[in-house]
Amino acid sequence: MTCYKHIALYLPWVNSRFDPINSFTTDNPKNNGRSKLVLWDCQKKDMKNLMADLRMYNMHKQPENHIVLFNVTTDLEFEKKFLSEGIHGFFYEHDPLDVFLKGVKTVIDGKLWLSRDIMTKCIFEDTGKDKSAKSPVENLSQRQIEVLALVAVGATNDEIADKLCISPHTVKNHLYSIFKKINVPNRVQAALWAVSNL
């Protein structure tokens, strides 16, 4: 895949909605009402070190950040582990540039970018787990259940807002509360939880 500095030339619209960052240090400035799109290069990185770096970064990142991994090797089946750490998308070594651009736009629009095969695998693995270990549905309000059900079918924040006649900001607040109550880090894990519990 092309170096992300070159890819950025094809993404002029990103800067209107995201602030770029050049490193994963703990002293990155806090968000000023804007999200950060983090393009994390996995080339020549082993899973153990990559996971350690990501967990260190997650200790300091803002919740609005969108992290995608690129140059992922296809022989490493680690997607589910990284989804649990808040990754929003995966791009593989041989993905063409147009796939990368489409995927990044999908992430920017509030969705996740991963293959249907991976999503299916995650769902089937999750449904086989003991549900008693999960947070009870009773912890959620009726509105939060409605929001979560829409997340489970892939609705974006704007689509949820339109469907429930609430603002996108209110949707974000509901999602933040839902994630805390059911103890998940992101939309994919929330959707998987919903499949097993709603």
Q: What is the pLDDT of residues 119-141, one digit of tens each?
A: 766 666 655 555 554 445 778 89
Residues 172 and 81 both lie in one domain? no
Residues 151 and 179 both lie in one domain? yes
Let me know if residue 119 belongs to a domain: no
Residues 91 and 156 both lie in one domain? no
Residues 98 and 146 both lie in one domain? no
Q: What is the mean pLDDT of residues 98-125?
A: 77
pLDDT in tens, 69-87: 888 876 656 777 777 777 8
The CA distance from 68 to 136, in Å, is: 31
What pLDDT is recorded for position 156? Answer: 87
Structure tokens of 12? 């002029």
Averaged pLDDT of the chain: 74
Q: What is the mean pLDDT of residues 79-103?
A: 82
Give CA angle at 156 (137, 80), nearest 5°.
65
Residues 100 and 15 both lie in one domain? yes
What pLDDT is recorded for position 26? Answer: 46
Residue % of the chain over a pLDDT of 70: 67
Residues 96 and 139 both lie in one domain? no
Let me know if residue 72 belongs to a domain: yes
Residues 101 and 157 both lie in one domain? no
The CA distance from 48 to 62, in Å, is: 23
Residues 107 and 135 both lie in one domain? no
Residues 167 and 82 both lie in one domain? no
Q: Decide: 151 and 186 in contact? Cβ < 8 Å.
A: no
Burial (CB < 10 A; 0-12, 13-18, 19+), residue 79, is: buried
pLDDT value at 47 more than 70:
yes
Q: What is the mean pLDDT of residues 27-36?
A: 55
Domain containing residue 153: CATH number = 1.10.10.10
Domain limit, last residue, from 79, 113, 147: 113
pLDDT value at 102 more than 80:
yes
Cβ contacts of 171 within 8 Å, gap of 6 or more: 147, 157, 160, 161, 164
pLDDT value at 189 more than 60:
yes
* Cα-only R_g, the chain: 17
Residues 92 and 9 both lie in one domain? yes
What pLDDT is recorded for position 121? Answer: 67
Residues 28 and 56 both lie in one domain? yes
Residues 67 and 145 both lie in one domain? no
Structure tokens of 89? 């998308």
The CA distance from 138 to 20, in Å, is: 40
Domain limit, last residue, from 93, 113, 133: 113
Q: Decide: 114 and 83 in contact? Cβ < 8 Å.
A: yes
| Count of the separate structural domains present in the chain | 2
Let me know if residue 118 belongs to a domain: no
pLDDT value at 53 more than 60:
yes
Let me know if residue 47 belongs to a domain: yes
Q: How far is CA 173 from CA 33, 62, 109, 118, 195, in A?
A: 14, 15, 17, 28, 21
pLDDT value at 24 more than 60:
no
Domain ranges, residue 150? 124-197
Between the ranges 108-112, 131-135, 166-170, where is the mean pLDDT highest? 166-170
Please give the model's pTM, rounded to 2 decimal places.
0.55
Domain limit, last residue, from 73, 93, 113: 113
Q: What is the mean pLDDT of residues 145-173?
A: 90
